[in-house]
Amino acid sequence: MKKEDSYVLLMFAIFYFGLIVGLTLAVSNSACPVGTTMCNGICKDLQVDLLNCGTCGNECPLGKACINGICTCLEGQILCNDTCKDTSIDSRDCGSCGNVCPSGQMCLDGACSIPTSQETLCNGLPVDTTIDEFNCGKCGNICPYVMICVDSRCVYIEDAYDRSLSMSPGQY
């Protein structure tokens, strides 16, 4: 083999090696669409991903959202003792963190108040058990799919306006 042939073969090998390395790097760096980052082999949007918020592996705590790459409370909530709370309805943080409503009162629009005669506290929220299909007549009494709650009774939709039904509240 001539010296010139060896030189050409060496240049070809260097070119080929460089081409392979360059293509490998280009593919690995451009495998994710713009605005996403490779995290453990999967393209993730670090601006909104709850498990990779801001950086790969940064998990947002339960109840928080990833907004613009920062774990934060959802709109309408504030941080109380490291937990996101809706102070407009939370009877333990009513209107502000730590403001607990007295027993028997509920938080409505950020103020402790006594429920009206038709409202009952179910799981800390005020509900009208005379019409609430998930709390019909009492907390937790769910009307079946084809029924609605009328006057604290689960009734068939077609019978909803028939007030002569003899069911007692909460029965169906």
> What is the residue-wise DSSP string for 20-51?
HHHHHHHHHHSSSPTT-EEETTEEE-TTT-TT
Residues 108 and 61 in one domain: no
- Number of domains, the chain: 3
Residue 85 lies in a domain: yes
Residue 16 lies in a domain: no
Residue 59 lies in a domain: yes
Residue 60 lies in a domain: yes
Domain that holds residue 70: 32-74
Contacts (Cβ under 8 Å, ≥6 apart) of 67: 47, 48
SS3 state of residue 143: coil
Residues 124 and 141 in one domain: yes
Residue 172 lies in a domain: yes
8 Å CB contact between 85 and 77 = yes
* Count of beta carbons in the 10 Å neighbourhood of residue 72: 15
Residues 127 and 158 in one domain: yes
Residues 122 and 110 in one domain: no
Residue 126 lies in a domain: yes
8 Å CB contact between 164 and 152 = no
pLDDT in tens, the chain (172 residues): 566 555 555 555 565 554 444 444 444 445 899 999 999 999 999 999 999 999 999 998 877 889 999 999 888 888 888 788 888 888 789 999 999 988 777 788 899 887 776 678 888 777 888 888 888 999 999 988 777 888 888 887 665 544 434 444 444 4
Residue 143 lies in a domain: yes
Residues 128 and 169 in one domain: yes
The verdict on pTM exceeding 0.75 is no
Residue 20 lies in a domain: no
The phi, psi pair for 152, rounded to 5°, reads: 65, 20
